[in-house]
Amino acid sequence: MAGHKEYDAATGAETTGHVWDGDIKELNKPLPKWWLYVLYATIVWSIGYWILYPAWPLAEDYTRGMLGYSQRSVVAQEISDAKQTQAPFLQAVASKSVEEIRSDAGLMEFVRRGGAAQFANNCAPCHGSGAQGFKGYPNLNDDDWLWGGSVESIENTIRFGVRSDHASTHQGVMPRFGLDGLLDKGQISDVAEFVLSLSGKSEDAEKAERGSVVFAEQCAACHGADGKGIVEMGAPNLADAIWLYGGRKQDVVESVHGGRAGMMPAWEGRIDPTAIRMLAIYVHSLGGGE
C-alpha cells in the first residue's frame, strides 16, 4: 500500500519492500552523510578543475583552462633554468685549459658528472656502464691506448672516431694474413706463439723463435720491433698482456689470420663540443689516462 512503511523487527530499520526467498528483506540504509558530502565536494572540485586547467580533448586541440597552465611549459622552464645555471660552468670548460679545470674542484666535479652522463647516454652500450669494455671493445680503465691516452688524444678519438665516415677519422687496418694468403698456417701459428712470448705466455720456444722472424718481416712495421705498438698507427702493444680480442693462442691466431678492423663512430656533430671535452676528461679520470 502506498505510504505504508515496514520496519525490520531485528534491527528496527525501515525496509525497501523488496523481499527474496520469502523472508530476506532489503533494508533501507542510506549512505552516511559524511560520505555524501565528500562525493559532492569532489564533484564541485572536478567542475572547478575542468574550468581552470586543461581537461577536455577536442577534435584537433584541447580545452586550455582559465589559468593557461601547461605541464609542457613547466618542463620547458625547468630546462631553461637548468641551462642558465650550467652556462657559466660550460663556458669555463670550453675556455679553460685542462690543468685549470683540474685545479678547480667545483668545476672538475661538474665535468665529471656531465661526462658521466654523456658516457652513459652514448658510450656505455659498447664500453660497458663501468667502462670495463668487452671483447672487441676497449677497457677504458686500464693503461692501454690504441690512439693515445692524453686528454687531447682521447678528445680527438671521440671527435673523429675510428674508421668512421669523418674526414679526419683515425685509420688503421690490420692485414688479413691468412685470408689474403700473405702467410701460411704454419707461419701464422709461429708468429702467434712469438706474440704470446712477448708477455711470457709462450709454451713452445722453438715456434716462438721461428715466429720472431715472421714478426720482424710482417708485423714490426706497425707494432714496433719490440711489439710495444705505435700509437700514431693505432697498433696495440702486444707485450703488456692486455688483449682486446682475447689472449689465448687461438684468439691470436684468429687475429693474424682474419685481421682486425674495429670501428668507433665520430661524435663530432652528434654531441656538443663542450660535452665532448667533458667526456674526454671524464674518461681520462677513470684511472687509465696517460
Specify binding-site residues for heme c: 123, 126-127, 174, 219, 222-223, 264
Specify binding-site residues: 123, 126-127, 174, 219, 222-223, 264
Label residue 196 left, alpha or beta by phi (over 0 means left) and psi (-120 to 50 means alpha). alpha
